[in-house]
Structure 1
Amino acid sequence: MYDFVVVGVGPAGARFARRAAAAGYDVLALEKGEVGTPLACSGHVSTDIWEYLPPEAKDRLFQNRVYGANFHVGGPGTRAYRFYKREEVSNVIDRVELDRTLADLAREAGADVREHHTVTGVDERADRVVLTVKGGGGTFEVETKMVAGCDGPVSRVRRSLDLPEPAETLHGVLAFSDEEDHGDYVDVHLTVPGFFAWRIPRGEAGVEYGLAAPPGASVNEMFDALTRAYDVDTDHFCSGAIPIGPPERVTTDRAFLVGDAAGQTKPFTGGGILYGMSAADHAVRTVDPDAPESLADYESAWRADLSREIRLGHWVRRCYSLPEPIQKLGLRALSGEIGVHMDRPSTLFSKKGLRKLVGR
């Protein structure tokens, strides 16, 4: 019997598998397809990403550095309200290679990482969890003391165990052009109902265009309008769900959710790489597979770390839907040098952040 079976080997699952294996636990990690594919997430991340990777990984993953964002109330060509830092605020990376690198780190730590293995059933019992797995040419059962559901926004683990759904699910789309662009700023367009559209320069790797919107919105039509306005052709079109707002409970007696499966994302951008890996670290520190009651400590730990940021992120997102004159007034008043960390909206209220605002 395994100590942990990890379902889903994205950043959150690979991080948990690596740290748990390094701590001496017997870990099996299952990915239903090939790690890193299909791509369904942007590669625009804060520079904190490198803290989770060995130094040599940067040479493979790095594509461009970003110093800030140009916010537009309209489409391309409209006035840009620039928010910037004097140092790098974020990087653009190869998102597929990130997943593969994190999975390799889990293998090196001793986790048994298996691709093309799909979990089709989750049976939680008093003393174990029995998973039905399809892969390796057949269907078989795996027994584990605990299961980590890291299987994304449409989580089979979450639904099999009747855990509550995230508060909201957005529909995100993105694609890439072959333009070479080493620009220092991403473009953000507040033209999508309830969210925004973006343009991210990726150096020699091209440019990423994308947007996300609530259910019912015509995301494909809005995306076509975005790329027409920029007069570009794109390929490698990707589409996926973005969970917003973690539910009130992400654990059962012998299972816990991490990352997108738990809705551990930034409400104002939809990104969840750093939040998911941070929650994975909390899980490794708090969860004992021989003590199911320790799952309560995981619930407390990740919420103490991320709940305030998520709550403030919801307030930031509300600004996307303000009337256009108020948006322009606010952007004009606040644009300029910032002291805010892109993953931590609470830094707006730090001494450095407030000093930037007051000194403007």
Structure 2
Amino acid sequence: MYDFVVVGAGPAGSRFSRRASERGYDVLTLEKGEVGKPLACSGHVSTDIWEFTPDGAREELLQNEVYGARFHVGGPGSDDYQFYKREVVSNVIDRVGLDKLLAEAAEDAGADLRENHSVTAVEEYRDRVEVTASTPEGTETFEAKMVAGCDGPVSRVRSELDLPEPGEKLQGVLAFSEEDDPGDYVDVHLTAPRFFAWRIPRGDSGVEYGLAAPPGSDPSANDLFEEFTDEYDVETTHFCAGMIPIGPADRVTSRRAFLIGDAAAQTKPFTGGGILYGMTAASHAAKVVDPERPATLQDYEEAWREDLSREIQLGHWIRKCYSLPEEVQKVGLSAFSGEIGVHMDKPTSFFSTEHLKKLLSGS
């Protein structure tokens, strides 16, 4: 019997697998396909990403450095409001490569990683869990003391155990052009209903275009994306789509199961990104959850919420600004544009001494 079965080998799952293995636990990680595929997430991340990766990851994965963002209330060609720093704000990385590197680090730490294992059932008992997976060879069932659901926004673990759904799910789409663009700025367009569209330069790896919108919006997210790229007059390939969970439920644990990452909606409400939040929560889980003591799952609930809940709450307030009337958006963007002291993963940094000084100085 394993200590943990981890369902999903994305950043959150691999982070937990690695850290739990390093603590001496027997970990089995199941990935439904090949690690990193299909791509369904942007590769625009804060520079904090390197705190979670093995040595040498930056040199292998980095595609571009970003110093700021241009916000547009309209489409391409509309007036922009620039927010920037004098040092690197964020990095653009090889997103598939990140998943593979993190999964390899988990294996190196002792985790047993099995690809092409699609979980079909999770049964929870007083003293164990049973996880059944479909494989190319047939069906396998594994026993463990606990199961970690790190299987994304449409989590099978969450549904099998009747854990609460995220507050909301958005439909995200992205694709890539072959433009050679080493630009320093990302472009953010507040044109999609209740969210935004983006353009991210990836150096000689092309440009990423993306958009998210509520499911069932009219026009649909796909139609909005087509209009967006047509306005930029570019052809894109490698089209990807996926759900973005927003708003964690009041409970992400059960008797012997817990959710991490997108499965738990541990994401930024104002961008939809969840790589850093998910890996942060995974680190908390590996530190406090004892598979012999189900009561420690409450320690996980408390630890990750204490660390992230304020950032998530402030992120919801930032997102509300996306739906303000255009004239109000323009006034707000004009007032706050310029040099910033804000961290892209931490809305609380908006109230930091550094940022407030910049606002007061008008620089």
Is TM-score (shorter-chain normalized) higher than 0.5? yes
Aligned positions of 1:207-286 closer than 5 A: 207-217=207-217, 218-286=220-288
Distance in structure 2 (CA, Å) of the matches to 1:57 and 1:81: 33
In structure 2, give the amino acid aligned to 1:316: I
* Conservation of the 8 A alpha-carbon contact between 2:171 and 2:241: yes
Distance in structure 2 (CA, Å) of the matches to 1:231 and 1:119: 41
Which residue of structure 1 aligns with residue 31 of structure 2? 31
Decide whether aligned partners of structure 1 residues 115 and 165 sit closer, same or farther in structure 2, where only a CA change above 3 A counts: same
* Conservation of the 8 A alpha-carbon contact between 2:131 and 2:141: yes
Aligned positions of 1:27-66 closer than 5 A: 27-66=27-66
Instruction: Provide Cα deviations, 1:2-38, integer angstroms capped at 9, x if missing partner.
Output: 0000000000000000000011000000000000000
Which residue of structure 2 aligns with residue 83 of structure 1? 83
Distance in structure 2 (CA, Å) of the matches to 1:356 and 1:7: 44
* Conservation of the 8 A alpha-carbon contact between 2:245 and 2:265: yes
Instruction: Provide Cα deviations, 1:173-219, integer angstroms capped at 9, x if missing partner.
Output: 00000000000000000001100000000000000000000111211
Instruction: Provide Cα deviations, 1:111-154, integer angstroms capped at 9, x if missing partner.
Output: 00110011111000000001112225121210000000000000
Matched, 1:300 2:302: yes
Distance in structure 2 (CA, Å) of the matches to 1:154 and 1:54: 28
Which residue of structure 2 aligns with residue 147 of structure 1? 147
Distance in structure 2 (CA, Å) of the matches to 1:22 and 1:153: 27
User: SS at 2:39's partner residue?
Assistant: coil
Q: Report sequence identity in percent.
A: 69
CA RMSD of aligned residues (A): 0.6
In structure 1, give the amino acid aligned to 2:93: I
In structure 1, give the amino acid aligned to 2:243: A
User: SS at 1:292's partner residue?
Assistant: coil
User: SS at 1:288's partner residue?
Assistant: coil
In structure 1, give the amino acid aligned to 2:360: V
In structure 2, give the amino acid aligned to 1:48: D
In structure 1, give the amino acid aligned to 2:265: G
Which residue of structure 2 aligns with residue 288 of structure 1? 290
Matched, 1:116 2:116: yes
Instruction: Provide Cα deviations, 1:158-180, integer angstroms capped at 9, x if missing partner.
Output: 00000000000000000000000
User: SS at 2:229's partner residue?
Assistant: helix
Which residue of structure 1 aligns with residue 337 of structure 2? 335
Which residue of structure 2 aligns with residue 169 of structure 1? 169
Which residue of structure 1 aligns with residue 352 of structure 2? 350
Instruction: Provide Cα deviations, 1:299-354, integer angstroms capped at 9, x if missing partner.
Output: 00000000000000000000000000000000000000000100000011111121
Distance in structure 2 (CA, Å) of the matches to 1:209 and 1:150: 26
Q: What is the deviation of 1:60?
A: 1.6
User: SS at 2:295's partner residue?
Assistant: helix
Instruction: Provide Cα deviations, 1:19-59, integer angstroms capped at 9, x if missing partner.
Output: 00011000000000000000000000000001111231112
Q: Which stretch has the larger CA shift, 133-142 or 202-211?
A: 133-142
Which residue of structure 2 aligns with residue 156 of structure 1? 156
Distance in structure 2 (CA, Å) of the matches to 1:356 and 1:126: 56
Distance in structure 1 (CA, Å) of the matches to 2:304 and 2:8: 19
Distance in structure 2 (CA, Å) of the matches to 1:140 and 1:338: 52
Give the aligned length.
Answer: 360
Matched, 1:204 2:213: no
User: SS at 2:252's partner residue?
Assistant: coil
In structure 2, give the amino acid aligned to 1:77: G
Distance in structure 2 (CA, Å) of the matches to 1:350 and 1:67: 19
Aligned positions of 1:5-16 closer than 5 A: 5-16=5-16
Which residue of structure 1 aligns with residue 102 of structure 2? 102
* Conservation of the 8 A alpha-carbon contact between 2:54 and 2:105: no
In structure 1, give the amino acid aligned to 2:19: R
Where do 5+ consecutive residues of structure 1 fail to align? none
Distance in structure 1 (CA, Å) of the matches to 2:67 and 2:27: 39
Distance in structure 1 (CA, Å) of the matches to 2:301 and 2:80: 41
In structure 1, give the amino acid aligned to 2:45: V
